[in-house]
A and B are shown apart, each in its own frame.
Chain A
């Protein structure tokens, strides 16, 4: 996955992501694609969660999955989640759960709870930082005011790092793929460098959902695992999702 939160010169916040999934889950030789990635595409839906006929939040989801991987609380915050791979992974959390240790929270349930019940950027951030989890993750959170944007690097137990937007200090965007920001990404899977290069080339004065879509359409940020691209703009409550295809000479991940 690749998630980006960016702030334009007027302080408006944009949040977008490529949802990549299906690595090593069967390769279709005939169509040169990942089997699960292709099969997930018809399951992608935009969900408008309503109470009293009013939108509480919207998400881009797989039908049948009750957790959230991308969502927007209009006017308040946006949230995406990227996978974080670790030996201390979710399978340990599941074993602990089965054995009776149930003080951690399932990833998708936490993101769903935050989107459903969160009332502010700061409250959402606090919950994502402090809640004990079954699996490690990156939470990418955007707000509705200048400086409200961050990448939270989570182990199962704690927040290892919080990388905040600071447009005045030169950090007008944050990009997260599937690697800790203080470590170099795997040489064979460096989507971070091209994403940052394209964001820098775009420049803050030109940032918008269309120009972020350009970044997310550039290989290898767009790759054989990319299921869909989601674009969100919190102040207007705008959320758009598009199914993607990477054909021809494309990175397999």
Chain B
């Protein structure tokens, strides 16, 4: 079966510990303190990662604009999705508000990032 797959290869061995061209780096660790109020739990992480998060969300908006050039899709994110926050359960609603505050990213865009999975199961 593998031979028929143009992208397949024989099973790899001795690739651990990770190194070489398929290894792009280690992953940093952050502590999320559940004793803090939900709106403050993500402050440190988002303070460090807000630029990277803005980049991803901007790319998602660019793709949405490519599909809906009128800008309607992005308008819905900015005006309608933000209203969804009041319907989301505690503590997640408060955590999302905290992430928006800590990153300076509009709340509607943070909601979009958090419901991405649900949207892309079609």
Binding site for B on A (CB under 8 A): 25-26, 35-36, 39-52, 56, 60, 62-67, 69, 83-87, 89-91, 93-94, 97-98, 102, 106-109, 112, 116, 134-137, 190, 193-194, 197-198, 201-202, 209-211, 213-215, 217-220, 222-223, 228-229, 241-247, 249-251
* In the complex with contacts A214-B16, A241-B27, A39-B5 CB distance below 8 A: no
Q: How large is the interface on B (under 10, 10 to 19, 20 to 34, 35 or more residues)?
A: 35 or more
Instruction: Report whether A218 and B11 are in contact in the complex, using a CB–CB cutoff of 8 Å.
Output: yes
CA distance A61 to B10 in the complex (A): 30
Chain B 26-65, CB-CB to A under 8 Å as 1, else 0, gives 1111111111000000100110110011011001101100
Contact between A217 and B95, CB atoms less than 8 A apart: no
Chain B: CB-nearest residue to A66: B95
CB distance from A223 to the nearest CB of B (A): 7
Which residue on chain B has the smallest CB distance to residue A246? Answer: B22
Given contacts A89-B122, A134-B118, A222-B22, contact A64 B53 (CB under 8 A): yes
**What 1/0 flags go to B92-122 for Cβ under 8 Å of A?**
1001100100010100001001110111111
Q: Cβ of B60: which chain A residues have Cβ within 8 Å of it?
A: 25, 36
Contact in complex: B24, A86 (CB < 8 Å): no
Q: Which 7 A-B pairs have the closest CB atoms?
A: A90-B118, A210-B16, A89-B122, A251-B7, A63-B49, A198-B11, A243-B24
Contact B119–A90 (Cβ < 8 Å):
yes
- B88, A106: Cβ atoms closer than 8 Å: yes
Determine the residue in chain B with the shortest Cβ distance to A84. B121
Do B18 and A213 touch across chains, with their CB atoms under 8 A apart?
A: yes
CA distance A193 to B8 in the complex (A): 11
**Closest CB of chain A to B100's CB: distance in Å?**
9
Known contacts A64-B99, A85-B122; is-contact A135 B117 (Cβ 8 Å): yes
Q: Are A194 and B2 in contact (CB under 8 A)?
A: yes
A243 and B25 in contact, given A98-B84, A197-B2 (Cβ under 8 angstroms): yes
Q: Can you add 5 more A-B contacts, CB < 8 Å, to A64-B103, A90-B115, A109-B92?
A: A213-B15, A219-B7, A244-B24, A245-B23, A246-B22
Q: B52: which A residues are within 8 A, CB to CB?
A: 39, 42-43, 63
Q: Which of A64, A194, A215, A241 meets B46, CB within 8 Å?
A: A64
- Asked whether, in the complex, the Cβ of A90 is within 8 Å of the Cβ of B1, the reply is no
Return chain A residues, CB-CB under 8 Å to B122.
85-87, 89-91
Cβ-neighbour of B31 out of A35, A50, A229 (below 8 A): A50
**In angstroms, how far is the closest chain A Cβ from the Cβ of B42?**
8
Which chain B residues (50-94) contact chain A, with CB distance < 8 Å? 52-53, 55-56, 59-60, 62-63, 84, 87-89, 92
